[in-house]
Structure 1
Amino acid sequence: MIEDPSAVQVQGQLALTLLAVDPAGLGGLHLRSRAGPVRESFTAPFKTLFPQARRISPSISDLQLFGGVDVGETLTQGRIVIAKGLLATPKPIILTMAERCEAGLAARLSQTLDAKTGHCLLLLDEGAEEDEVAPRAITERLAFRVDLEGLRYVELASMVIPPESLTQARAILNDVKIPEGTVDALAITAARFGILSLRAPLLALAAARANAALNNRKTVTDEDLQIAVQLVYAHRATQMPVDEDPPEDQDTETKPDDTPDAQSPKQDESELTIPDELLIQAVKAILPFDVLAALEGSGRTKTASGSSGAGDKKRGNRRGRPLPSRPGRLDGGNRIDIVATLRAAVPWQTIRRAQFPDRQGVLIHASDVHVRRYQEVSDRLVIFAVDASGSSAVARLAEAKGAVELMLADAYARRDHVALIAFRGEGADLILPPTRSLVQTKRRLAGLPGGGGTPLASGLKAAGELAQRVRAQGLSPSLAVLTDGRANVPLPGKTGRQAAQEDAHTMARHIRNMSLPSAMIDTSIRPHRDLQQLCGVMAAKYIPLPRADAMGLSRAIHSALGE
C-alpha cells in the first residue's frame, strides 16, 4: 500500500526512464493530471530524455500525421507539393488533452504503435471527471500510467539518470536474456489480477528487460520482474487474486533427499524459475485501497448532453444535412466547396496578379480553401417499459397504448421509432419491436396482457439490452418507464422483496452507465420515495403522473427526453 505521495513521483520517473531505454517496446505513458506546476515538474525530465519529442493536439489532421499532397501549397505555388508527415520519422509524441481524442485519431495512433517503428506516446490526460478519459484503444497499448491527482508541488521527488547510463542501457538491451518460465509467470500473474489483454504480459516483459539493461544486467532477475509488474499491472488490475490454499489431505511433508546431486544443485540463470506469489505480492504492495471502486467506472462513456427530439447529431464531411462551409485544410478527410473557395479568392485577384504576373487563371491561396460540412441526424427510438402488473395494470396499459399511438402519429416528422416492453409476473417481454408503423403498433397493442408481480429489474434489463442492440444499428435510444415503483420480483435465481430492490438498483446503474436518456413516470396515487431514489441512481427524470391520460403522458415524455 502506498502511503508516501512522493512514491508516485518516483515510480513515474522510473517509468519515464524505462521508456527512454525501450520506447518502441513499451509504447508510452498515460499521465492523468490537470495542467499546473505538479505536471510541469513531473514532465520536466521528458525534455531531457526525449529532446526530439513533438507535441500534437486532438485536432491534428491526417496530412500533418502521415503527409501527402499539400493541396493548399500546391494551388499557391502552381506545382505539386508533397508534405512530410510527423510520423515519417520515429520520435516521441506528446498528445495534449488526450481525453478529447476522437476515435479516428485513436485508431491511427494505435496502428502506429502496433507497427513498432520506434514511436512512443505520452498522453496528457486532463479529464476532470471519471468519464473524461483518454481512449482505451491507445491506453491499453501504453505500458505505464501515472495519476498525479492529489499531489502537491512540495511533495514531488526528483530522479536524475546520467545520460551515459541511458546510452549503455540502450546498447545492451537486445542482449538481455529472459529466464525460462518468466513469460508463464507474467501471464499467470496477469490472469489472477483479472487482466485479460495479452499486451500486458508483453509490456511487463519489455519493462523487465529495460530495467535489467538500465542496471547493467545481462539477465532478467526477480527484482526486474517485481518492478515491471508493479508499473504495468497495478493500474490494469480488475480483481484481487484469490489465495490458493493446498488441500488439507495433501501430504505437504516430504522426506529430504540426501543424495549428493539433489542437495544444492547449481541452477543456471537461463533456467531460473520465478515464483508466481512473488509477483502477486509485488502488485498488491502498490494497489490503492479503493482500486476496485476506481476501476468500476473507468469504461463509462460520456454523458449525453441532451436530445433534440430526433436522435443524436454529429458533424460530418460526407453526408447528412448540409451546413455552411468553413475555411479548413484539405487533409484527405474533407471535401472542398469549390464555389465558396472561389468566392473567397475572387476579391484578392488584383493584388495577387500584381505579385505573380506570369500566372494564369484564378490565383488561389491556402487561406481561401473552404470545406463542406454536413450534419448527420440518426433516428431516435423511444423504448416504453410498462409495468403490466397488479390491479392498476389496465389503466397503465391504456395510457401507454395511447401515448405510443400519439407519438407514432408524428413519427415521420420527428424521425421517431417506438418499442414497447411489458414486465409482469416473473419477467419482461418485448411486445412491440422497434417500428414506425402505426398499423402494426395497433395490432400488437390490442392483446397486451396484464396482472401478476412487478419484476422491475427484469424490465430495466430488457430495456438496456434492446438499447444496446439498436445503438449498433445506428439508432439513438431513449427510455420511458411507467411503473408504481413497488418492485417485488427479483431477477432469476433470487427471492424476496429486498433482493428485488437491489436488482432494480443494479439495473438502474447499468442504464446510467449506458448514458441512456431516461424518464421515470410514477403512476402511483402518491409519489413513491423508493422510485425517486431509483431515479437518482439511474439519472432519470422523475415525473409523478397519478392521473395522466394518453395526451398528458405523451407530452411529459417528449419534455423529459429533451424534445
Structure 2
Amino acid sequence: MPLQYPLSAVVPSKDSGDDMTLALVLTTISPEVGGVLVRGEKGTAKSTTVRALASVLPPIEVVAGDRFSSAPGDTSPDGPAPDHAWPLDAETETRPVRLVELPVGATEDRVLGSLHLSKVLADGVAEYEPGLLARAHRGILYVDEVNLLHDHLVDLLLDAAAMGRSTVERDGVSVAHAARFVLVGTMNPEEGELRPQLLDRFGLTVEIAAPRDPRLRAEVVRRRLAFDADPHAFVGSYADAERALTDRIAAARKLLPEVELTDAVLTKVAEVCAAFEVDGMRADIVTTRTAVAHAAWNGRTTVTRADIRQAALLALPHRRRRNPFDAPGLDEELLDQVLGNEEPEPEPEPPGPQPDGDGPDGEGPDGESDLDTGPGGPTRSSGGDEGPGRSPEGDGEGLDTGPGGPTRPPGDGQAVVASLADPYKVRRFEVHGTGAGESGKRSRALTSNGRRAGNDPTGAGGLHLVETIRAAAPHQRARGREGGRIRFEQQDLRTARREGREANLVLFCVDASGSMAARKRMEQVKTAILSLLLDAYQRRDKVGLVTFRAGGADVALPPTHSVDIAAKRLADLPAGGRTPLAEGLLQAAEVLRVEKVRDPRRRPLLIVITDGRATHGEGAVPRSRQAAQWIAEQGTTAIVVDCEQGPMRMGLAGQLALHMQATHLPLADISAQALTTVARVA
C-alpha cells in the first residue's frame, strides 16, 4: 500500500488559512457535526489533505469478525440472534479508521450492497454482501468531485446521512445496518454546483485557494518533491508531528463531554444565525456542536467568543440566504458586530470583558499548533488580502447594477459596458424530438430512469420481465415444454425503454458591435442569459456565451453549470466596434464541436442575436454566409433573433437564418422576456 502524504506536512495558505484542516479535525472530534464540503480551485491539495486525515485519527475498537464495524452492544446483521445485538463482553479487535472513497461512477449495488453472487451460484445461498456504506461505518466516506455525483447516488447518501442507517430492499435481500460516517466531499465550483438537498447535509463548508505568496508556493513544491523522491524518509520526518495530532484529537474527544454549554452560548449562537437569516434550525445545531468541538480541540471546558466565531465561519456560509449569483462567504464585520466584544458568561452574572483580552480576531494564549485556527491561529480579515472566491467583492466586477456599477475604460474608443438587472424566473424550453443525453429536467429523452415507455429487443436498459415472458409464451409448445419452467431463448429478451428528461446546452452567440451597443439592449441580453443560467442551475443544463465585436470573437462564458463563475464573466461585458459576424459564427461552431467531443449525447441549441450586418474585413458578407451554411451542414438546431430596428430594414438577419436553416424571429426590440420565449419555442 503506497504511503500517504502526512497531514502535518500540508502547507497552509495565507488566503484560506487552516480552515480545511480545522474543519476536518472538528468533524472527526464530533461526528454529529455532519461532515465537511471543501470547495476550491484545482490543484489546491484538497484530495491530499482528506486522504491524509485518516492516518492521524485514533484507532477504533470493533467486534472481532463483524463485517459492519460494530462496537460491543451495537446491532448488526451479523450479530447473534434473535435481536442481532452484540453482547457488551464480545471479543473485540482494534483497527485503523477507514477512509472509503465513493467514485463518481459507482453503481447503486456497490454503494448499498447486493447478493453475494459467488455463494448464490456455488451454494444456492442468498447472502448479503455489504457495500461501501457498510464499509464506511464509523469511518470517513470521501466523495471527490461530489458535485458530479449521479442523482440516484445522491439520494442514497441523503437517506444514510439523515437516518444513520442503510436499508437494502432489492434482489430478494432485506437488510438494515448502521451507516454513521463522516461525509467529506471536495469539488471545483467551475464544474457546477451541488444539489441544495445534499449541500445542506454537510455540516461545515470551506473555501480554499492556492497560496499567492511565492515563498509558500516554493515550499509546497519543495515538500512534494522531497516526498516523491523518498516517501519513507519524508513520512518519517513528520512522524512526531503526526503522533502529536493523534494524541490531541484523542484528548479532544475525551474532553468533549465535559465542555460546558451555557444558556448564554446558546443565545449568542441563535443571535448569529438569526442575523444571517439562515433557513431552518440545522444551522443553530451545527454551529453549537462545532463551537463545543472547537473548545475541546483547544483544551477548554468553556465555549468562548472565538469558538462561536470560528464555528459560524465554517457552518453558516452555505446556509445563509443568498441568490445563486451572490459570492459565498460571510460578512465578517456583521459577525463581529453580532458577537460583540464580551465573552458568554458561564454563570448568569453581568457580562464584562475578560482579563485575557480576547479581541475580535480571537487572540489567545493557545497558538503554538500549526493546525490551530482558533485563538492565536490565523483568522480571516474583512479588510485584508483575500483569496479568489472568498471576498464578496471578488475582483471588483460583482453584480453592481446601480449607476456606480462596474465599468471598463473604452478599449478602442467605442466600447461601452452595460449593467445587469435582477435575474428572473424563466419558463422551461425544450429541444424538439427525443434525445438520449444526461439525465436532467429539460427536454424529452431516453434515459436509464423515468417512466417506462415500451420495450426494446436490442436496448441496453434493464430487463423488462413482462415483455420477455410475453415474447417467449407463443413458442413454448414448439420448444417442447409440457409443464414446469418457461423455456427462454436469446431472441425473447426484452429491455425496458424508459423516457425521462435530459439536460441541454444553450449557446448564445451575441452581436456586441457598435450597432448593438445601446446600453439598455445589452443589459436586457445579459440579464436574459443570467436568468437562463439560473434556470439551467435548477434544471442541470449548460449555458455558454460567445460574443463578437471589433476585430474578432471571444468565448465570454465557456459552457458551464456554475452560476457564480458565470456572473463574474458576464458582469463586465463590453460592446462597440465593427461586426465580425463570420468570426462569431465560426467561434460558436467551434465551441459546439468541442462540447460534442466532450459530451456527444448533450444536444445543443444555438441562439444567434444580431441585426445581420457584417462589416469587418474583406468579403465579410460572403464569409458570414459560408459560416452559416457550414453550421447548417452540422445539423445544429439554431435560432436567429433579428435585432434590426427602424422603418427601413434590410432583412439581413432573415437571410442569415435562411442560410443557417434556422428559425427566424424578427423582433423590433430585444427584451429579456422575448429571449426566453424564443428559447422555449425552440
Letter in 1 for 2:38: H
Structure 1, residues 318-364: CA drift from partner, whole Å, max 9, x if none?
Answer: 62465676899xxxxx5477999xxxxxxxxxxxxxxxxxxxx99xx
Deviation of 1:483 (Å): 13
Structure 2, gaps ≥5 residues long: 1-11, 58-95, 165-178, 212-216, 224-237, 320-327, 338-343, 354-358, 364-378, 400-422, 435-442, 469-484, 487-492, 537-542, 544-604, 617-637, 643-650, 666-677
Give distance in 2, aligned partners of 1:6 and 1:481: 40
Structure 1, residues 495-553: CA drift from partner, whole Å, max 9, x if none?
Answer: xx85565355323321244347462454x574799xxxxxxxxxx97566537389949
Deviation of 1:104 (Å): 2.2
The more displaced of 65-74 and 479-488 is 479-488
Give distance in 1, aligned partners of 2:163 and 2:351: 32
Give distance in 2, aligned partners of 1:486 and 1:239: 40
Structure 1, residues 409-446: CA drift from partner, whole Å, max 9, x if none?
Answer: xxxxxxxxxxxxxxxxxxxxxxxxxxxxxxxxxxxxxx
The 5-angstrom pairing of residues 451-462 of structure 1 reads: none
State yes or no: 1:224 paired with 2:307.
yes
Per the alignment, in what secondary structure is the counterpart of residue 64 of structure 1? helix
Structure 1, residues 81-133: CA drift from partner, whole Å, max 9, x if none?
Answer: 222343343332111332320222222212222235631111132x4x62434
State yes or no: 1:502 paired with 2:523.
yes
Q: Which residue matches 2:184?
A: 122
Letter in 2 for 1:292: P
Q: Which residue matches 1:90?
A: 138
State yes or no: 1:199 paired with 2:299.
no
Q: Which has the higher helix share?
A: 1
Give distance in 1, aligned partners of 2:653 and 2:520: 30
Give distance in 2, aligned partners of 1:25 and 1:91: 14
Does the CA-based 8 Å contact 1:24-1:113 persist in structure 2? no
Give distance in 1, aligned partners of 2:311 and 2:190: 26
Give distance in 1, aligned partners of 2:510 and 2:245: 68
Does the CA-based 8 Å contact 1:32-1:145 persist in structure 2? no
Deviation of 1:22 (Å): 0.9
Per the alignment, in what secondary structure is the counterpart of residue 514 of structure 1? helix
Q: Which residue matches 2:448?
A: 316
Give distance in 1, aligned partners of 2:653 and 2:431: 27
Q: Which of 248, 253, 256 lines up with 1:170 in the alignment?
A: 253
The 5-angstrom pairing of residues 516-531 of structure 1 reads: 517=605, 519-520=607-608, 522=610, 524=611, 526=613
Q: Which residue matches 2:652?
A: 546
Q: Which of 374, 389, 393 lines up with 2:497 in the alignment?
A: 374
- Matched residue count: 393
Q: Which residue matches 1:441?
A: none
Letter in 2 for 1:172: L
Identical positions, percent? 17
Per the alignment, in what secondary structure is the counterpart of residue 113 of structure 1? helix
Deviation of 1:193 (Å): 4.1
Q: Which residue matches 2:36?
A: 28
Deviation of 1:80 (Å): 1.4
Mark the CA change 1:30 to 1:320 in structure 2 (over 3 Å): closer, same or farther.
Answer: farther
**Root-mean-square deviation (Å):** 5.6
Per the alignment, in what secondary structure is the counterpart of residue 216 of structure 1? coil
Mark the CA change 1:280 to 1:17 in structure 2 (over 3 Å): closer, same or farther.
Answer: closer
Structure 1, residues 474-496: CA drift from partner, whole Å, max 9, x if none?
Answer: 998989999999999xxxxxxxx
Does the CA-based 8 Å contact 1:27-1:113 persist in structure 2? no
State yes or no: 1:557 paired with 2:663.
yes
Structure 1, gaps ≥5 residues long: 247-265, 329-333, 341-360, 363-369, 379-473, 489-496, 530-539
Does the CA-based 8 Å contact 1:26-1:142 persist in structure 2? yes
Give distance in 1, aligned partners of 2:38 and 2:496: 33
Q: Which residue matches 1:142?
A: 202
The 5-angstrom pairing of residues 439-458 of structure 1 reads: none
Does the CA-based 8 Å contact 1:212-1:219 persist in structure 2? yes
Structure 1, residues 164-207: CA drift from partner, whole Å, max 9, x if none?
Answer: 33223222323322222333333433444454454333222111
Q: Which residue matches 1:367?
A: none
Alignment TM-score, normalising by the size of structure 2: 0.45
Deviation of 1:14 (Å): 1.6
Give distance in 2, aligned partners of 1:484 and 1:170: 60
Deviation of 1:232 (Å): 2.7
